[in-house]
Structure 1
Amino acid sequence: MNIPVVFWLVPFASLCALAMAWYFFKYMMKEDEGTVRMKEIAGYVRIGAMAYLKQQYKVVAIIFVILCLVFAFMSYVLKVQNPWVPFAFLTGGIFSGLCGFFGMKTATYASARTANAVSKSLDRGLRIAFRSGAVMGLVVVGLGLLDIALWFILLSMFYEGENTALVTITTTMLTFGMGASTQALFARVGGGIYTKAADVGADLVGKVEANIPEDDPRNPATIADNVGDNVGDVAGMGADLYESYCGSILSTAALGATAFAINGDMQLKAVIAPMLIAAVGIFSSLAGIFLVRTKDGASMRDLLHSLSLGTNVSAGLIAVATFIILYLLGIENWVGVSFSVISGLAAGVIIGMATEYYTSQSYKPTKSIAKSSETGSATVIIKGIGTGMISTMVPVVTISVAIMASYLCANGFDLSMSSESISKGLYGIGIAAIGMLSTLGITLATDAYGPIADNAGGNAEMSGLDPEVRKRTDALDALGNTTAATGKGFAIGSAALTALALLASYIEEIKINMVRAANEGATFIDNLGNTFNPENAGLLDMIDFFQVNLMNPNVLVGVFIGAMAAFMFSGITMGAVGRAAGAMVEEVRRQFREIKGILDGNATPDYGRCISISTRSALHEMVLPSLLAIVIPVVVGMILGVAGVLGLLVGGMSTGFTLAVFMANSGGAWDNAKKMIEEGNFGGKGSSCHKAAIVGDTVGDPFKDTSGPSLNILIKLMSMVSIVMAGLTVAMI
């Protein structure tokens, strides 16, 4: 296979992203970390975060070794799987873990430097925090594209000359997406449990019962809380978005290989097109990153405008570049496919704006939640849940319109429902996900910046800096809550588009395994008693053979199990946070009770004990929900077959998407309602309204930082597991 010269833009762009990530890291490290006390606090957080990550990776490594042995057995003994699968799975997990490690390392060095910079200038603090967040964004896109490019080059050499080479290559590469998804789920769930256990314990006992400020050094859980921001909202989020980014590119490449299988030259162009769009997206993200700056005394709207300018310019650049790339590449119906990309970009922007409206304290929904605190915590919770439920409408309608628009644009508005028309339409849906995530370099920077600003505020409080410094860090932190919610909206939206594309990839993987089995002597009989030849079967032929329709009880049962899985997963992770937080609350109360002089500032709390509780709880509680996502698709495939698995994926996708949006937006709105009161509204800090809002924020913590963001990984991991286990499912037919 002759790889076109233009493809080399992909590894070049990935190396440029990694080089700029290094530049921003060195830029941040040159800044002054502040006073001795500020350095001391930052050191505690850094040591705690790295210690947790080391323990988490040890647990995950054991599970990865077990899964690799299972895949090796399936590949080399049962011969129901591609022999590259164990290696691809392993590299996906390693690269995903690296993203979390590099992002968290940067964040733990950036927080004190941000606090120190804010004491001089709000703009300077914003730039340090944002460019430190950009390290995470650029590492994710850089390592993601590098991994994809290296696997594509390697597999192209091994499958040179085969008629179905590109189909085999792209479906094999999808399995490294499973490695990334598995690592991401452990990182998100474990980090989410850690951070929320500490956060809830610190808030309920410190702020409500002891009536001391947030991040007060007298609170034993405050260091664990700051550590948690890094392991959950940085390391977990980095692994999460790496998985989303790679999954969308890989699934679209696989769809391109099948949609244009009859035209070898066009097939290769369709496969590398999503990689090229992502590569150009790196350069547009870099342009946007350098535009982010603000002025002293900036309002929340001013700060939002600063970040919006960067992201909107990036989106505009990639929109224009897409038409040029696809035209020069010579993609069939390049105008229509370009508009599919635009539909994904537009959907991302609309979801971001809707999320901002429902979670920012500048708008009515969050203001209404803050006002409801006047009648107690119960009304705060009711109002927050209601707001979150209503907030699902815009993202769901937006994604629905984007799906239809991208599908029709890519297939030339062909309504014939032929296999070719459907395949090209699904390729359009996949490439719409690429459009949504093409500017991930900057959109992830706006997300990763939030925990850095939050930790900067904690450092300022614990170091006893001027109240004006804390006021400025609080402004950056409130902005971070909104941008974090927006980032989660992007991830959840892309998960829906990618999961839909993965449905077609699953059917193609089933077909590949059926052809392999047929070549080894297996015979497949359809429901009419006729011999079925999978080699010449189209997409609709496969659907008919497995009777994937709403009258098939296997499909319906699968849909119900998929919907149940989303709620069961959320329930388990919420329960895990509750148990861990309960242990933290008891420990903080014990220290206040038994260590005399803590509240007077005459004794030092045992910070290490609280860090230990969060670490132990997270490592113990993260295993069950993570394994759930792996086990359910395997069991459903063995019992209900292909039709049941497709139903499972549809049910999990639709329910998981809606539930994730609801939880992320409710949690973000509760958090910013609390921030709004802390700025002096409705009685300010220490008032009854403030205490009511803290309860709402406490409920919202696992919503927005544990269960909600983990659901988008659950959706895709179930799809990835189904694809990897397709050979076993075929063997059961």
Structure 2
Amino acid sequence: MLTEPVFWLAPAGVLAGVVFAVLFYRDMLRQDAGSAQMQRIGGHVQRGAMAYLAQQYRIMLLVFLILAALFATLAFGLDVQSRYLPVLFLAGGLFSALAGYVGMQTATRASVRTAAAARYSLAASLRVAFRSGAVMGLAVVSLGLGNVVAWFLFATTFMPAARGEGAGLVLVTTTGLSFGMGASLQALFARVGGGIYTKAADVGADLVGKLERGIPEDDPRNPAVIADNVGDNVGDVAGMGADLFESYCGSLLAAAALGAAAWSQDPAMQLKAIIAPLAIAGLGILLSVCGVFLVTTKEGAGQKQLLSSLSRGINASAALIVLASAGVLHLLGVANAWGLWGAVVAGLVTGMVVGRATEYATSPGYAPTRKVAAQAEGGAATTLIAGLGTGMQSTAIPVLAVAVGTLLAFLCASGFDLNQLNQGLYGVAIAAVGMLSTLGITLASDAYGPIADNAGGNAEMCELGPEVRERTDALDSLGNTTAATGKGFAIGSAALTALALIASYIEVVRLELLRRGETLLTLDGGRSVPLAEASLQDFMAHYNVTLLNPVVLAAMFIGAMAAFVFSGMTIQAVGRAAAAMVEEVRRQFREDPGILRGDSEPDYARCVEISTLGAQREMIAPALLAVMVPVLTGLLLGVAGVIGLLAGGLAAGFVLAVFLSNAGGAWDNAKKYVEEGHHGGKNSRAHQAAVIGDTVGDPLKDTAGPSLNILVKLMSIVAIVMAGVTVGFSLL
């Protein structure tokens, strides 16, 4: 591996990402933090965010230690797992948590500095917010790629079985998938817990503050306003970062595992197939850094100019990776280099199409959201009906884009030969790597959103001048667009990554059978083939993985059901946590009338505490569902059942995630469109209906929808990690 010059693009990208993340962070700290009042408000948000993280990480530490002990028992006691599993599991969780911590520290400090910069210049405030978001983006990709590279270097240096080629490298790559288990579990807690936290605070603030008391958003008299601002960071910085960290690592590990398996009989090509995704990812980090420097704007820029400046950086990075990846694949000398390049392009284009489709469905600049806003004149019922219809219709383009992108990636990588399953599935994994290759800058645009939102809240609470609010409103409006696009991107990348992980599952099953001493795979008619040389088609035949097998069909229904039950659990969790928040806000208004007059300060800390405890308590049940369903399915229905479960969960979870996210986004932006003065403006009947729609949509777009990304990936990872248990102890 070390002898391939192209391999060094990966560590070079990691180093560049770390260096520029540190530089951007230090540059942010040097900016003016504003007045004493601005710093006091910002301090409330920062302390609340870090208190939440500390509480979550304490719970996560306990969970991870218990599971690591369980995995150690399975590995060293029952010998049904790799002995590296406990360490890789802990490493995945640790570095995902570290990325979230870095992002949270940066975002909570950057928002007050963005507001301070907005007192003088729109361009300066955009620079502070976006480069602070880039700290999160670069931290995620650098830590993710760095750990994958470190594992391969360690394994090929110190694992005797990995020093050879063929089966040795298959062992290394499939074992590395265990790293994804830790990242996935941490992402689930971050996404679900963060989503419950932010929406409990948001719903509580809106229901009592806006609807009952008629006070504006981000009003310092609202006791839940600080918890609401903290929630933006908890959900959209730490949660989104953990989600995409998981997708990023999962796509790299799955691509390496599928590449090693596809060319296990060709040692020279096998090594190149492992290096290719790492090199593309390293190149993507380097080009993402270049793209960050292209995001600038002029003073007085409007919404279109601001969006154009962000798009310029992202599109430039994407265009450069398209050109540069072709050179990398040819320099590496991989077989069918143009076909693999086509898979990279298919992944990038799919990500862009999904993002643009999400923007069209949820932006107030387009017809779907404006139609929802128009329906608000008829009341809450028509608003809700219109939003549901918009969300359902909005699934068409993203689903078709992922379907077409998957087929194109498969066909390009397989040389348009449907019988070349191994090479085709490797192409699908490479497409996922391609989609996520510019994650450094695309995640920067996502993390920018809550920074700009908090900056606007700080400016409102500190009663800064109208020109400052105009600038922060422009940044916040841009942040709403990037947040919606980012959710679509996260969903699309989750679908491709989960598909690649499902394909990797068979390779792990093969490894576990070999570990148990099996040498032959029995097929129909009593025929058998050597296990080490069996194709994917052979495994499908051996386990009877067809839709005519009732076990597979039943498991597909269970997988689809799991997506809906999981969503219902997270939505109800928000409802229960929000009810506690509503009661607390009402209590404070009732017991201290001076709060509404502005004579006394609300107890912000109590609302932060309620959201924190509610989120930690409510996220346990969904997490247990995500982990236990694939384990029990494997024990009861065997390998065929697990494959059916994962396929059903992916299909239903992907479509449901798009629907929930886009319906909620349409309601949210319809409310903002009304507040701009359309259909009667603020305090009108249409506005009240739009606020109800937004309140209903909040847990859909920020909790249930994004959490489904984690569910489809986590079920695949759990199935992979527990493959040894399934092979050894399943009833069927």
User: Common fold, TM-score beyond 0.5?
Assistant: yes
Deviation digits for residues 535-583 of structure 1 (CA, Å, limit 9, x no counterpart): 3321111110000001111100110011011101100000000000011
User: Which residue of structure 2 lines up, in the alignment, with residue 150 of structure 1?
Assistant: 150
Q: Is the 8 A contact 1:300 1:362 kept in 2?
A: no
Give the Cα separation in 1 of the matches to 2:365 and 2:121. Answer: 23
SS in 2 for 1:598: helix
Q: CA deviation at 1:531?
A: 6.1
User: Which residue of structure 1 lines up, in the alignment, with residue 288 of structure 2?
Assistant: 285
Q: Does 1:318 align with 2:321?
A: yes
Q: Does 1:507 align with 2:506?
A: yes
| Of 178, 202, 206, the match for 2:209 | 206
Q: Does 1:593 align with 2:590?
A: yes
User: Which residue of structure 2 lines up, in the alignment, with residue 97 of structure 1?
Assistant: 97
Q: Is the 8 A contact 1:129 1:449 kept in 2?
A: yes
Q: Does 1:257 align with 2:251?
A: no
Q: Does 1:342 align with 2:345?
A: yes
Q: CA deviation at 1:488?
A: 1.5
Residue ranges of structure 2 left out of the alignment (5+ in a row): none
Give the Cα separation in 1 of the matches to 2:303 and 2:712. Answer: 34
Q: Which amino acid aligns with 1:30?
A: R
Q: Is the 8 A contact 2:166 2:260 kept in 1?
A: no
Give the Cα separation in 2 of the matches to 1:407 and 1:531. Answer: 28
Give the Cα separation in 2 of the matches to 1:663 and 1:302. Answer: 30
Q: Does 1:232 align with 2:231?
A: no
Return closer, same or farther for 1:66/1:532 CA change in 2, 3 Å cut-off. Answer: farther
Give the Cα separation in 2 of the matches to 1:168 and 1:370. Answer: 55
Give the Cα separation in 1 of the matches to 2:262 and 2:166. Answer: 15
Range with bigger deviation, 432-441 or 693-702: 693-702
Deviation digits for residues 117-146 of structure 1 (CA, Å, limit 9, x no counterpart): 112111211111111111100000010111
Q: Which amino acid aligns with 2:595?
A: I
SS in 2 for 1:255: helix
User: Which residue of structure 2 lines up, in the alignment, with residue 487 of structure 1?
Assistant: 486
Give the Cα separation in 2 of the matches to 1:361 and 1:715. Answer: 30
Q: Does 1:358 align with 2:358?
A: no
Q: Which amino acid aligns with 2:408?
A: A
Deviation digits for residues 249-286 of structure 1 (CA, Å, limit 9, x no counterpart): 11011110011111101000001100100110011111
Give the Cα separation in 1 of the matches to 2:425 and 2:552. Answer: 20
Range with bigger deviation, 686-695 or 62-71: 686-695
Q: Is the 8 A contact 2:8 2:279 kept in 1?
A: no
Give the Cα separation in 1 of the matches to 2:361 and 2:433. Answer: 25
| Of 648, 652, 655, the match for 1:651 | 648
User: Which residue of structure 2 lines up, in the alignment, with residue 706 of structure 1?
Assistant: 703
Q: Is the 8 A contact 2:33 2:113 kept in 1?
A: yes
Residue ranges of structure 1 left out of the alignment (5+ in a row): none
SS in 1 for 2:540: helix
Normalising by structure 2, we get a TM-score of: 0.97
Give the Cα separation in 1 of the matches to 2:204 and 2:381. Answer: 20
Q: Is the 8 A contact 2:129 2:448 kept in 1?
A: yes
SS in 2 for 1:287: helix
Return closer, same or farther for 1:2/1:142 CA change in 2, 3 Å cut-off. Answer: closer
Q: Which amino acid aligns with 2:63?
A: I
SS in 1 for 2:517: helix
Give the 5 Å matches for 1:517-528: 517-518=516-517, 528=525
| Of 295, 299, 303, the match for 1:300 | 303
Q: Is the 8 A contact 2:6 2:331 kept in 1?
A: no
Q: CA deviation at 1:373?
A: 1.4
User: Which residue of structure 1 lines up, in the alignment, with residue 685 of structure 2?
Assistant: 688
Q: Is the 8 A contact 2:521 2:542 kept in 1?
A: no
User: Which residue of structure 2 lines up, in the alignment, with residue 465 of structure 1?
Assistant: 464
Deviation digits for residues 129-173 of structure 1 (CA, Å, limit 9, x no counterpart): 111111100000010111011101001111212641110111011
Deviation digits for residues 225-268 of structure 1 (CA, Å, limit 9, x no counterpart): 11111111111111111101111111011110011111101000
Aligned length: 727
Q: Which amino acid aligns with 1:16?
A: A
User: Which residue of structure 2 lines up, in the alignment, with residue 539 of structure 1?
Assistant: 536
Give the Cα separation in 1 of the matches to 2:477 and 2:670. Answer: 10
Deviation digits for residues 25-71 of structure 1 (CA, Å, limit 9, x no counterpart): 11111111111100000001101110110000011111111111111
Q: Which amino acid aligns with 2:375?
A: S
Q: Which amino acid aligns with 2:262?
A: A
Range with bigger deviation, 475-484 or 652-661: 475-484
User: Which residue of structure 2 lines up, in the alignment, with residue 728 of structure 1?
Assistant: 725
User: Which residue of structure 2 lines up, in the alignment, with residue 602 of structure 1?
Assistant: 599
User: Which residue of structure 1 lines up, in the alignment, with residue 566 of structure 2?
Assistant: 569
Q: CA deviation at 1:689?
A: 2.0
Normalising by structure 1, we get a TM-score of: 0.97
Give the Cα separation in 1 of the matches to 2:90 and 2:210. Answer: 44
Q: CA deviation at 1:4?
A: 2.2
Q: CA deviation at 1:474?
A: 2.1
Q: Is the 8 A contact 2:355 2:488 kept in 1?
A: yes
Give the Cα separation in 1 of the matches to 2:589 and 2:14. Answer: 51
- Runs of 4+ with deviation above 6 angstroms: none
Q: Is the 8 A contact 2:342 2:409 kept in 1?
A: yes
Range with bigger deviation, 338-347 or 530-539: 530-539
Q: Is the 8 A contact 2:523 2:538 kept in 1?
A: no
| Of 165, 168, 175, the match for 1:165 | 168
Q: CA deviation at 1:5?
A: 3.3
Give the Cα separation in 2 of the matches to 1:413 and 1:635. Answer: 38
Q: Does 1:117 align with 2:117?
A: yes
Q: CA deviation at 1:296?
A: 3.2
Q: Which amino acid aligns with 1:364?
A: A
Give the fraction of aligned pairs with identical amino acids, expressed as a percent. 60
SS in 1 for 2:177: helix
Range with bigger deviation, 540-549 or 349-358: 349-358
User: Which residue of structure 2 lines up, in the alignment, with residue 447 of structure 1?
Assistant: 446
Q: Does 1:477 align with 2:476?
A: yes
Range with bigger deviation, 577-586 or 286-295: 286-295
User: Which residue of structure 1 lines up, in the alignment, with residue 82 of structure 2?
Assistant: 82
Q: CA deviation at 1:116?
A: 1.2
Give the Cα separation in 1 of the matches to 2:274 and 2:248. Answer: 16
Q: Is the 8 A contact 1:189 1:706 kept in 2?
A: yes
Give the Cα separation in 1 of the matches to 2:426 and 2:434. Answer: 12
User: Which residue of structure 1 lines up, in the alignment, with residue 616 of structure 2?
Assistant: 619
User: Which residue of structure 2 lines up, in the alignment, with residue 516 of structure 1?
Assistant: 515
Give the Cα separation in 1 of the matches to 2:332 and 2:20. Answer: 27
Q: CA deviation at 1:472?
A: 2.3
Q: CA deviation at 1:525?
A: 5.6
Range with bigger deviation, 146-155 or 692-701: 692-701
Return closer, same or farther for 1:524/1:330 CA change in 2, 3 Å cut-off. Answer: closer
Q: Which amino acid aligns with 1:600?
A: R
Q: CA deviation at 1:593?
A: 1.1
Q: Is the 8 A contact 2:581 2:607 kept in 1?
A: yes
Q: Is the 8 A contact 2:166 2:265 kept in 1?
A: no
Give the Cα separation in 2 of the matches to 1:209 and 1:536. Answer: 68
User: Which residue of structure 1 lines up, in the alignment, with residue 139 of structure 2?
Assistant: 139
User: Which residue of structure 2 lines up, in the alignment, with residue 33 of structure 1?
Assistant: 33
User: Which residue of structure 2 lines up, in the alignment, with residue 54 of structure 1?
Assistant: 54
Give the Cα separation in 2 of the matches to 1:523 and 1:15. Answer: 45
Give the Cα separation in 1 of the matches to 2:552 and 2:682. Answer: 53
Q: CA deviation at 1:217?
A: 0.5
Aligned CA-pair RMSD? 1.4
Q: CA deviation at 1:300?
A: 2.2
User: Which residue of structure 2 lines up, in the alignment, with residue 403 of structure 1?
Assistant: 406
Q: Which amino acid aligns with 1:712?
A: N
Give the Cα separation in 1 of the matches to 2:215 and 2:141. Answer: 41
User: Which residue of structure 2 lines up, in the alignment, with residue 188 of structure 1?
Assistant: 191
Give the Cα separation in 2 of the matches to 1:319 and 1:95. Answer: 29
Deviation digits for residues 621-653 of structure 1 (CA, Å, limit 9, x no counterpart): 111101211110000000000000000000011
Q: Is the 8 A contact 2:166 2:264 kept in 1?
A: no
